[in-house]
A and B are shown apart, each in its own frame.
Chain A
């Protein structure tokens, strides 16, 4: 089975915690985590709900392989309606929290209503209770975790919760667990804060004892781990360099969005790359990178642990930031760096520490600062408003805003609303580099054409983790395709989107997909879980999950016009590199994509598609 077969429903308005059996019929159709939680969510929540009202719900969900011996089996997702986008939001995190929740005997937590006062949820195996969080409100994620471990006198208590950003209304507040792992995107932490829920502290000692066929499961996971170990990417590249290894590659191919997407190449890329993190600093002779780190059960270990140069201006009088903490991943390094033209690795690391500490998404923050810097250079925003000179390339401005944004201070309060609202307020909505209100990640779709379609059609707004065609278009995984053409990209995007939905519903990390395909996951699921988890069925499950998310968005009021890119990417050609002269060809790809999905010309699933997948139009 692997599912604990039990969910926890928490009514924050009434202050009650109730156990319910997991709906196993839904589990057979939607697997777990992203898929299964979204099924619950779409059944229980009005798609037109105000994301920050008590009627919105927040679901913490594990997958059937979370907490098992499968490599990377430590993932959980947070599902809600996103305040940044008004669309379905689903953010995924690693660390150790997800496995601990499973060890306590829960597949899922459904949080509903709104507490009249700040509370946290404490779970110890079957026991669950809401406790007063007056002492925690206002604390950082780091202080919250320390407080709760101390309070329960148990260093193995795992904590997932919000920092000040989730309390002050930052629309891209994250849920952070284990100090520097995060369900980072789409403002899931904002919804948590709107419910007056500060954190969830969980301790589980049950393990996952209900694997269907333990011997077969052990055999399948050992074989799959060997695939990861033998693969040069998951066995060598990611552990040593992390995702940051992409910085120089994406710059070289001319797809590194730079200075709010004005350019596609950044001359400072080498200074903020994985190679730079390994190089001894001129100041103290030590590298930025201290070590790598693994999440629960992971045999890849791509996480970065860094130390900031103690003499750097960001921390010179702040010894609390001199210790080792969560370092830069590629997306954060891009958003805090190239997106703003900042090439100061230490400043980027400081901003990343602050993102983890205060609980906000460094992608949306960095991209929004990029828009602020462009507006500053245009003369629309002035130093008097911002509190600092903010030209592109200013590490001082980056650090200044990073200190403010989570605390709701100064101009940081406006940056906390994201670039869509900010640029609209100042009369230049065309400068918001977003889809459905969510900021782009680190790939310019003029240089990687398929990503334009992946962004435009992503159900949670612009995102690289919904259909990562970079793997094929740039890295040759599983096969190399040409990043500069639109031909064939509709099918590629659909295939990546559907497969990703399966990874995200299983409890496994998407990064295994650099070595594994669904053929490597199927035997693990088949051995662990009752039901049909053959390759054929997994493909259908992935497509079903994608369509269900789409149905929610349609019922929420999103239309074909929301499957679009900002005018800059469709009208302003890349100025350098291999993509010089190119814009994104979304209009060539989108009709074919809708057709391949079995949707009509307006992007609405046809009756035949709904019947085939067992989905329905929502109201």
Chain B
């Protein structure tokens, strides 16, 4: 199935060069894919995988290793950030 991965802020640097302008990369993943397995190839330091959203909904840390995907899901990740 096809999902979209978005990496923002300092995580932009972990994207392939051609994907850094829009912070988006399309991925083909299999049924067994989890958040942990999808982001593993990008070699993001675990402590920077902070705010994890699937289709805009927060996924708690405890669920990230096992949560399966559906076709068309959008996975977006930020390091610790804040603003105001």
A243 partner, pick from B50, B56, B79, B83, beta carbons under 8 A: B83
**Which residue of A231, A238, A270, A577 contacts B23 across the interface (Cβ within 8 Å)?**
A270
| Chain-A contact segment, one of B4-12, B28-36, B65-73 | B4-12
**Nearest Cβ in chain A — how far from B10, in angstroms?**
7
Per-residue CB contact flags for chain B residues 29-70 toward chain A (1 = under 8 Å, else 0) read 000000000000000000110110101111010000000000
Q: Are B51 and A254 in contact (CB-based, < 8 A)?
A: no
Report which of B48, B56, B84 forms a contact with A577, defined as CB distance below 8 A. B56
How far is it, in angstroms, between the C-alpha of A274 and the C-alpha of B12 when the chains are bound? Answer: 11
Query: Which residues of B, 9-23, contact A by the 8 Å Cβ criterion?
Result: 9-10, 12, 21-23
1/0 per residue, CB under 8 A from B, across A111-133: the answer is: 00000000000000000000000
Chain B interface: which of A193-201, A383-391, A462-470, A556-564? A462-470
Chain B's closest residue to A511 (CB) is B84
Complex CA distance for A468 and B83, rounded to whole angstroms? 10
Q: How far, in whole Å, are A241 and B23 apart by their CA atoms in the complex? A: 15
Given contact pairs A237-B9, A245-B8, A480 touches B82 in the complex (Cβ within 8 A): no
Query: What distance in Å separates the Cβ of A482 from its nearest Cβ neighbour in chain B?
Result: 8
The answer to whether A589 has its CB under 8 Å from any CB of chain B is no
Q: Which of A236, A330, A482, A578 contacts B56 (CB 8 A)?
A: A578
Interface contact B53-A232, CB-CB below 8 Å: no
> CB-CB < 8 A to A475: which residues of B?
51, 81-82
A233, CB-defined interface residue at 8 Å: yes
In the complex, whether A477 has a CB less than 8 A from a CB of chain B is yes
A contact residues, total (Cβ < 8 Å): 40
Contacts of A240 in B (CB 8 A): 9-10
Partner of A248, one of B23, B55, B82, B84: B23
Rounded to whole Å, the gap between the CB of A348 and the closest CB of chain B is 16
Shortest distance between the CB of B59 and any CB in chain A (Å) = 11
CB nearest neighbor in A for B57:
A578
How long is the Cα–Cα vector from A271 to B33 in the complex, in angstroms?
31
Q: Contact: A275 with B8, CB < 8 Å?
A: yes
Residues of B within 8 A of A482 (CB): 58
- Min CB distance A267 to B, Å, is 12
Question: Does the CB pair B84–A249 fall under 8 Å?
Answer: no
Determine if A252 and B83 form an interchain contact, defined as CB atoms under 8 angstroms apart: no
Render A567-586 as a binary contact track against B, CB cut-off 8 A, 1 for contact: 00000000001100000000
CA separation between A526 and B48, bound complex, in Å? 35
Is A244 a contact partner of B23 (Cβ separation < 8 A)? Answer: no
Assess A471 versus B12: contact at CB under 8 Å? Given A249-B51, A252-B56, A254-B56. no
Contacts of A275 in B (CB 8 A): 8-9, 12, 23
How far is the CB of B2 from the nearest CB of chain A, in Å? 19
Q: Can you identify 13 A-B contacts, CB atoms within 8 angstroms?
A: A231-B80, A232-B50, A236-B10, A237-B10, A237-B80, A241-B10, A245-B8, A254-B56, A270-B23, A474-B51, A475-B51, A577-B56, A578-B56
State the A residues within 8 Å of B (CB): 231-233, 236-238, 240-246, 248-249, 252-254, 270, 274-275, 279, 330-331, 464-465, 468, 470-471, 474-477, 480, 482, 510-511, 514, 577-578
B binding-site residues for A, Cβ under 8 Å: 6, 8-10, 12, 21-23, 47-48, 50-51, 53, 55-58, 60, 74, 76, 78-84
